């Protein structure tokens, strides 16, 4: 099969992904072989390529995979040959530890990330345990479904972790790929609630899009919104919004931080953190890590029902380096997706 592989950590401008011909993987017992049709491109791949996240090497990147079942490993019964499936960031977990046994497999010490500890979808074929593949609703094309498997599913998890109830106020800090999906889910599931969106000052386009998608108020991070926030989600890679969000929280409110990494600690903004203004009155902070199968299984049909149809810009597998360079420069319209034939 053809695959783009990463052998060494390098800046993306050096175009480190290499197109190679390699043996098609074979499904082990309980696994399925999937012929990849589309694989979304995520910022996490830039982190892996440039060494901010450590993948196995060499690795086939890509964790927003849509394809069709090509072959069943021994004992695999969940799907038929030809079924369309999606594969997300969670490639596998041990199934035995106390986290796996309590529906928190995203916290499993043996958690394997697709396209990180296990090979992913920048290739013509990939293998995955059948329990970690999901039916894809017919509403979506292959390319449209791909971005839902990462930004969508993790955003859905973040929203779930806020414990938001209908009629309450939700604050979103940062308005990128994940937040623009979360606002649509929040508006659909909690129609009597209000959503306030905070962006960097002057991000007028983001604020316009937020309003178009139903935001009840938009402003710059640090501005005082028209009401206190019952819940907030921070999607940014920096520290300032955490302090701003805590200040804007209602008593007993919860802030969920949806970020794999935060940029180096910004001491100035953290020095502003004071106990009585930001934490007193039972305010809570929680981060969101990875996703569970349950998140993906619930989110895909919900996205079809709403519906959430992502804007995508397609590239060939051969163009993966170029697409990642454009992503880094912020020049992708919607989500970038590799089309693989």
In the complex, the residues that contact Zn ion under the rule CB under 5 A are 42, 44, 93-94, 97, 100, 108, 150
Closest separation between CB of residue 336 and Zn ion, Å?
11
- Specify the residue, 154 or 248, whose C-beta has the smaller distance to Zn ion: 154
Q: How far is the CB of 147 from Zn ion (least distance, A)?
A: 9
Q: Compare residues 22 and 97 and give the one whose CB is closer to Zn ion.
A: 97
* Closest CB to Zn ion among residues 150, 197: 150
Pairing assessment for the beta strands 312-316 and 335-339 based on DSSP bridges: parallel
Q: Which two tokens stand for residue 95?
A: 């199934």
Q: Which is nearer to Zn ion, 150 or 238 (CB)?
A: 150
What gap in Å lies between CA 300 and CA 26, rounded to an integer?
A: 27
Cβ neighbors of 125 (< 8 A, separation 6 or more) are 1, 24, 25, 33, 34, 35, 36, 70
DSSP code for 281: T
Q: Quote the CA–CA distance of 44 and 222 in Å, as a whole number.
A: 27
The minimum distance between CB 93 and Zn ion, in angstroms, equals: 5
CB of 277 to Zn ion, least distance (A): 34
Nearer to Zn ion, 63 or 283 (CB): 63
CA 154 – CA 295 distance, rounded (Å): 8
CB of 37 to Zn ion, least distance (A): 18
**Smallest distance, Zn ion to C-beta of residue 150, A:** 3
**Contact predicate 291/114, CB 8 Å:** no
CA distance 94 to 99: 9
Using the minimum distance from each CB to Zn ion, give the nearer residue, 72 or 148.
Answer: 148
My answer on whether omega of the bond before 307 falls inside 30° of 0, hence cis, is yes
């Amino acid at each position: 099969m053809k695959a783009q592989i990463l052998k060494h950590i390098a800046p993306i401008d050096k175009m480190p992904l290499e197109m190679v011909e390699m043996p098609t993987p074979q499904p082990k017992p309980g696994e399925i072989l999937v012929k990849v049709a589309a694989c979304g491109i995520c910022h996490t791949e830039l982190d892996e390529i440039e060494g901010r996240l450590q993948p196995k090497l060499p690795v086939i990147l890509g964790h927003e995979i849509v394809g069709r079942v090509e072959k069943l490993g021994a004992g695999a019964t969940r799907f038929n040959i030809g079924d369309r499936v999606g594969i997300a960031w969670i490639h596998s977990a041990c199934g035995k530890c106390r986290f796996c046994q309590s529906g928190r497999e995203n916290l499993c010490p043996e958690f394997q990330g697709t396209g990180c500890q296990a090979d992913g979808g920048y290739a013509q074929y990939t293998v995955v345990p059948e329990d970690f593949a999901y039916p894809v609703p017919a509403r979506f094309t292959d390319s449209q479904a791909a971005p839902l498997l990462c930004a969508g599913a993790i955003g859905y998890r973040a929203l779930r972790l806020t414990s938001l109830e209908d009629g309450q106020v939700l604050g979103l800090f940062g308005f990128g790929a994940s937040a623009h999906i979360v606002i649509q889910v929040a508006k659909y599931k909690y129609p009597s609630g209000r959503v306030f969106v905070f962006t960097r000052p002057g991000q007028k386009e983001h604020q316009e899009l937020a309003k178009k998608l139903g935001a009840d108020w938009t402003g710059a991070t640090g501005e005082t919104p028209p009401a206190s926030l019952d819940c907030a989600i921070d999607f940014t890679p920096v520290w300032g919004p955490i302090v701003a969000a805590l200040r804007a929280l209602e008593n007993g409110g919860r802030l969920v931080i949806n970020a794999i990494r935060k940029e180096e600690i910004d001491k100035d903004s953290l020095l502003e953190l004071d106990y009585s203004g930001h934490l007193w009155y039972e305010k809570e902070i929680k981060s969101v890590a990875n996703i569970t199968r349950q998140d993906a299984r619930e989110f895909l049909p919900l996205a079809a029902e709403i519906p959430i149809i992502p804007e995508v810009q397609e590239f060939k597998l051969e163009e993966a380096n170029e697409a990642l360079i454009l992503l880094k420069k912020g020049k992708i319209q919607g989500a970038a997706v590799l089309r693989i034939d």
